Amino acid sequence: MLYQNRAERPDQLAARLADEIAQRRELLTANEREVLENHLQAEIAAEVQKLLKAADLQVQAINAELHKRPTSTGVRYRLRWEPLVEGSEGAPVGLDAARRHLLHTNADLWSAADRRVIGTMLQQRILAERARAEAAGTGSLREQLARALDYRRWHVFRVQRWQDGQWRKLSGPASSGERALGLTVPLFAAVASFYGSGPQARAPRLVLLDEAFAGIDDAARAHCMALIHEFDLDFVITSEREWACYAELPGVSICPLLRREGVNAVLVSRWSWDGRARRREDDPDRRFEPAEA
């Protein structure tokens, strides 16, 4: 067999190709390290630092919304954005130390030791992602780097509940309604904080809820509706039983969809709630006159 214009036996060709692949991998790794070290402060780590700080500020804004709006029973919730436990799946080696530098030290003030800590962590992420991609047999180098440097994969969200004078895990002893509220209320706070900043401040504050408040009793549902109103959110809800007719809501439009087995049609009836009473509304798009009595 010919290789680089020379005849080679198959076993010798396999050995030469294996050596060349190993050399190219070492060269690529060295080049990656050089690029990472040369541009770490100015590009990669500075950008990761900016994203981490922005996310941390967003979590603080969400918690500020949550602090202002406890439940009717006085329960408060807060959101924690924590790094994965080192050694767990997907957790970068050296994340805790690197995260402290990224969040609390300006990139312009990093020492050589600081850059070494952050650079080592990022390099470990690239190597781990490359190993994962090679095992799966998929993913270009660009995709590998994008996944390796995605700071969102290094963290996890947790919700805590203020109880007996201290913050406790949401998974601790609590009623099903309290647990459901612990998952719903932080979502409202996140949406409100998002719409309340930047160019979204004047946009419709829309939130879509599918089968909302499952497992929550009527009193807790009413409180959730009050929170939607207090957070100043515009909502669309789909539900098998929820009509949203609570005194806590000053107004809502309702469109029940009714069907019968064997009938290829769906009846849409229109209702409205004004905070005190529910009334039937005319269909503005009615195609046929109602049948005479």
Q: What percent of the chain has pLDDT over 90?
A: 8
pLDDT digits (tens, 9 = 90+) for 160-194: 888 778 888 887 776 766 777 787 888 888 888 88
Q: What mean pLDDT do residues 267-290 have? A: 83
Mean pLDDT of 27-54: 68
Render pLDDT for 133-145 as a digit per residue (tens, 0 to 9): 888 877 777 788 7
Bridge-based pairing of strands 252-254 and 166-169 is: unpaired
Greater confidence, 107 or 248? 248
Domain ranges of the chain: 1-74+90-151, 175-293
What is the assigned CATH class of domain 175-293?
A: alpha beta
- Mean pLDDT over 272-288 rounds to 83
Q: What is the pLDDT of residues 48-95, one digit of tens each?
A: 888 888 888 889 989 988 888 877 677 888 999 988 887 666 677 777
What is the predicted pLDDT for the residue at 63? Answer: 92
Residues 210-245: pLDDT tens digits? 877 777 777 778 888 888 888 888 889 888 888 889
pTM, entire model: 0.67
